[in-house]
Structure 1
Amino acid sequence: MKRRIVISIVFILAIGLCAGLVWFNFFRAKMIANFFANMPQPAQTVSAIKVEARTWTPGIDAIGTAKAANGVELAVETSGIIKQINFKPNQYVTEGTLLAQIDDAVDRADLQDVQAAVKLGEAAYERAKTLTARGYGTEASYDEIVAKLATARSRQNRLQAIINQKGLKAPFSGVIGIPRIDVGQYVQTGTTVASFQDLDSMKVDFTVPEQMADKIKLGQEVRVGVNEKTLKFVGHVIGKDPRVDPQTRLVAVQALIENNKDRALLPGQFLHVRAVLPTEDNVVTVPQTAVITSLYGNYVFTIEPTEKDGKTIDIVKQVFVKSGRREGDVIEILSGVTPGQQVVMSGQNKLQAGAAVKIDNSIDVTKLDASKLANGQ
């Protein structure tokens, strides 16, 4: 009997101990959860900027190719032996300068013979004219002398034209390139002598989509540069094709850049082009780093001052926005935020809706590398 009582007591104590352990574990878990639930989260440091309405200068961006306003591949007009080359590579020459000379000794000798015939014909013409006026000559002899003089002058002009063709002259002022001929070389008609370019002004050929073609006007301002962020050359549209290319659905446009005095632009160069459109007022913009792209759309984190425990703290709110055009480091916002609101520019990877933040704008993040900003660096 006593043994049964002892066993019962031990069993009851064991059950009570187990129940106490279970209760203690549940109590500890609850207290830990309450502790972490009520523990204040540290404010995340972010940079922020106010949404503003600004004057927007839209444009049509394109890729273009430069070419000289006046540029040719100089070639000889007739065949012969090169006698002289009167230029050096990259030399600036003025219009009319003799650049290369083909041997014309035979033609000049023939010219002297013809010039003598012209002088003889002119003397005969004067005598016949005098005699005819006095009534001592016939009309037939007078006409024959006039015809011979005209023939002699025609031969003289022809030989002079041949001699002129053998002297290659600069058709305009510009810079000449590397000579492709040598003294003593026999050249055929059409042989290229050198590239000749007027680099003071440049033409830029580019294309725009057919949907944008109606926005391109003659005289419209165009900005050009070798880097899309530094379009320092300013020109204007001088031509637009009146048709759309059926293969590419693009329209060809040509602009003129007249301020290439330092010759920074070269023919054939790859260029970034921006055709400037009329300015627009009150366009809502934010830095591109403030907009986050997700599967559900673009959104920003707005900063809202909130009262908590008697203190005012900054809380972020996730707001979906509709974005529009981009220009440089800013993006147009069509809906979602209004001017005056603050949005987070960097540090978004550490945030979630409702998180407390601390604003630190000691660094201008709009001038930093976008890839670093995306990582919150």
Structure 2
Amino acid sequence: MFKRLAIAVTLLGLIVGGIVWFKSFRDGMIAQYLSGMVPPPVPVTSEKVETVTWEPGIEAVGTAIAASGVDLATQSGGLVREIQFTANDRVTKGQLLVQIDDASEQASLAAAKAALGVAQTEATRAQTLSERGVSAATTVESAEAQTEAARAQVAQVQTALDDKRLTAPFDGVIGIPQIEVGQYVGVGTTYATLQDLSRMRVDFAVPEQQMGLLSLDRPVTIKTEVGDFSADGHIIAIEPRVDPNSRMVSVRAEVENASGKLSPGQFLRVRVSLPSEPNVIAVPQTAISSSLYGDSIYVIRQGETAEEQKVEQVFVTLGRRSGARIEVIKGLTAGEEIVTSGQNRLTNGGKVKVDNSVVLTAPAGE
């Protein structure tokens, strides 16, 4: 019995030993195979670092407002007799827009003019009698005073009559009529809007830290979110007070709108142009790799052979942004070659193959 048990234990030991030996042999062979594998170079695109003339600017969002824009309101109450415009008409200064019923004022004006005529006749008669010596000087003065009072009455009624005629205060485009013929309107009733679209103003705000960079007449460029409209202008006003809640400074610019494509209230992208700066290093934003340790750029270095190229991860200090490029304050020098795309598979010291015939797109999340 003991002999059989010894044989069984021996066989079990041989089996276990064989399994352990096979596993060790397999792992060793796999490790030997992998150690002999050389990963192929990673294809990347590159760019030579050069100094450029930097065109700095202040980016902001703004709102378009008409240089001249008002809500037109009635100056006198009454029934609307005529509406002399339709929506989006171009009107000129002084053009009649709305006529309020003025029959009562017309009658009052006729009566006032008649009274003025009587007063002038009486004043002439009194002057003639005074010259003949048959009338006192006080009679002439009284007649002249009556004439002036009658003339003032005519002017007063004429003013009331003019208030019934609503005219355009300036050239512009008029909006949708807010009243109808036959409607009774009170004083101050808005009947339309009038906008001068030939010139537009743009209101925007910048952080208080950039307030010192602003000045009157500094050029600005505006662009719309919808369409491809853009226009140039200049700053015409800077609010001298910083908003204590937002810590922003309000700025107003003026731009030409000869085409009429810009409308009041429209959302705009604003760029304030600042003086250009020479000898600035700027790289594509796609070349920047950001992590918890900071921002870095992969610089291409020469490998052990003439054909071999490797990359070195260099940490940099970044500055301002302008379009698709970003300023590098520290970490790069002109003449170095950097990786601009394809760095998602790179590690420090890894081999690369530069191929600038195509532009590699970074995957989402890179």
**TM above 0.5:** yes
Q: Which residue of 1 aligns with 2:261?
A: 264
Question: Does residue 1:185 correspond to 2:183, yes or no?
Answer: yes
CA spacing shift, 1:82–1:20, aligned 2, 3 Å:
closer
CA distance in 1, matches of 2:275, 2:307: 44
Map 1:85-100 → 2, pairs under 5 A: 85-100=83-98
Contact 2:311 2:349 in 1 (8 A): yes
Q: Relative to structure 2, which stretch is displaced further, 241-250 or 176-185?
A: 241-250
| Structure 1 residue 268 displacement after superposition | 1.3
| Structure 1 residue 23 displacement after superposition | 8.2
CA distance in 2, matches of 1:146, 1:65: 59
Q: Relative to structure 2, which stretch is displaced further, 114-123 or 191-200?
A: 114-123
Contact 2:43 2:355 in 1 (8 A): yes
Q: Which residue of 2 aligns with 1:81?
A: 79
Give the one of 338, 342, 363 matched to 2:358.
363
CA distance in 2, matches of 1:362, 1:157: 84
- SS of residue in 1 equivalent to 2:181: coil
**TM-score for both structures, normalised by structure 2:** 0.89
Map 1:24-39 → 2, pairs under 5 A: 32-39=30-37
CA distance in 2, matches of 1:33, 1:337: 39
CA distance in 2, matches of 1:59, 1:187: 51
Q: Which residue of 2 aligns with 1:312?
A: 307
Structure 1 residue runs without a partner (length 5+): 1-14, 366-371
- SS of residue in 2 equivalent to 1:55: strand
Q: Which residue of 2 aligns with 1:336?
A: 331
Residues 348-374 of structure 1 deviation map (CA, whole Å, 9 limit, x = unaligned): 112112222222222356xxxxxx524
1:260 maps to a residue whose letter is N
| Structure 1 residue 217 displacement after superposition | 0.8
1:182 maps to a residue whose letter is E
| Structure 1 residue 138 displacement after superposition | 2.1
Give the one of 112, 119, 122 matched to 2:120.
122
Give the one of 110, 120, 137 matched to 1:112.
110
**TM-score for both structures, normalised by structure 1:** 0.86
Contact 2:229 2:261 in 1 (8 A): no
Residues 151-200 of structure 1 deviation map (CA, whole Å, 9 limit, x = unaligned): 11101101111111111100000001110100000001000001111111
Q: Which residue of 1 aligns with 2:45?
A: 47
- SS of residue in 2 equivalent to 1:199: strand
Residues 62-115 of structure 1 deviation map (CA, whole Å, 9 limit, x = unaligned): 221111000000000111000000100111111111000100011011111211
CA distance in 2, matches of 1:107, 1:57: 65
CA distance in 2, matches of 1:183, 1:376: 62
CA distance in 1, matches of 2:175, 2:294: 55
Q: Which residue of 1 aligns with 2:270?
A: 273
Give the one of 317, 342, 346 matched to 2:341.
346
CA distance in 2, matches of 1:210, 1:43: 49
CA spacing shift, 1:239–1:376, aligned 2, 3 Å:
closer
Residues 115-134 of structure 1 deviation map (CA, whole Å, 9 limit, x = unaligned): 12223333333343344345
Give the one of 359, 373, 377 matched to 2:362.
373
Q: Relative to structure 2, which stretch is displaced further, 298-307 or 183-192?
A: 298-307
Number of aligned residue pairs: 357
- SS of residue in 1 equivalent to 2:176: coil
1:172 maps to a residue whose letter is F
1:112 maps to a residue whose letter is A
Map 1:8-23 → 2, pairs under 5 A: none
CA distance in 2, matches of 1:116, 1:21: 132
CA distance in 2, matches of 1:58, 1:31: 60
1:54 maps to a residue whose letter is V
Structure 2 residue runs without a partner (length 5+): 1-12
CA distance in 1, matches of 2:260, 2:45: 43
